[in-house]
Structure 1
Amino acid sequence: MRIRPLSVEGAFEVTPVQHGDARGTFLEWYRFDALAAAVGHPLDLAQANLSVSARGAVRGIHFADVPPGQAKYVTCVSGAVLDVVVDLRLGSPTFGTWDSVRLDDTDRRAVYLAEGLGHGFCALTEGAVVTYLCSSTYRPGHEHGIDPLDPELGIAWPTDTPLLSTKDEQAPSLARARETGLLPDHAACSAYAAASRRM
């Protein structure tokens, strides 16, 4: 398993080693110890999600209040998506920047993103199946979104006609979220991560 940091601080790309023979393929798609060594603390697993998306569907950009936030470990088990991580942490050296990784059922990569980072993806194939391991459970009122089509973010979604949920269509711009105090604070996210390392 190879784990490398992305350009957004706190996000990592995970590439598993695949073993194949006449029967098919086997791989370790998640390793507690390998991820903890790369990230600096373990990923506490509290919830697992699965989504199935039509081609061209864009989900995100979603994030949660910190603390506790919601770290995620995301992979695409069928089809392909362009997975996007956005730094929404005020005061972060990479604030407002994004990075992306193609997740598919060929290379079987995964993405880890720390608490306070925004997450979204665009389905590149019909019926793309994405799984998420999450560090905390869904908390109504503490989960938020940023307009995935916000020109300030300038995310290069690989579709001319993105399919969005009503919630994502109505999500505020990055500037509006900043003005209204919706965004997480980098120092608070760093302190939360440091506390996790001591546990």
Structure 2
Amino acid sequence: MGRSAAPHARIASTHEIEKFLPVCEASPPRVPRQRPISTIPPPPHQKPENVLKRAHELIGVNQAPTALTLLHEHITNKRSRSAAIASLEPVMLLLVELSVEQKKGKLAKDALYQYKNLSQNTNISTIELVLKKFIELAVEKVTAAQQKADEVQSTIEATAATSNIDDLEASETPRVHPPRHRLWRAIS
């Protein structure tokens, strides 16, 4: 009897097959795995142009905090890494504007870090443009707060000369340090 099969292969006898067959028939049929019901798929990724349009619509109906959150989520989303930097620049400019207006320095700082990581290998000038805009808006906000504080201070001094200083309420005293402090934290 010649060997046609490889030396390590063995042909099963009919007896072995019949012995194995009842085991296979007794096993339950395989049920495909289903996802748990609680798993919610991620929201669909939007184009930066559509996010910008939606943010302008929200600003139009006096929902600027929601618009800021929308822009921040878009910039920090991992899927936005594949978007063109030129299309993300207007999103960042609006985000910076809204964050300075709403005094959300940490949110702006986080978005600026993400944007820097996205664009540092392709276009450094866009990072410079966004940072200059951020610093310009922050300085304007601090200057406006300083002018308001100076006006209140001059009013207090004029009033102090004619009346008793003990009558002033705490709400009338100017707070200049917080805008400067927020500016310093956001820049550093």
Which interval holds the TM-score relative to the shorter structure?
under 0.3
Give TM-score scaled by structure 1 length. 0.22
The answer to which structure has the higher strand fraction is 1
Give TM-score scaled by structure 2 length. 0.23
The answer to which structure has the higher helix fraction is 2
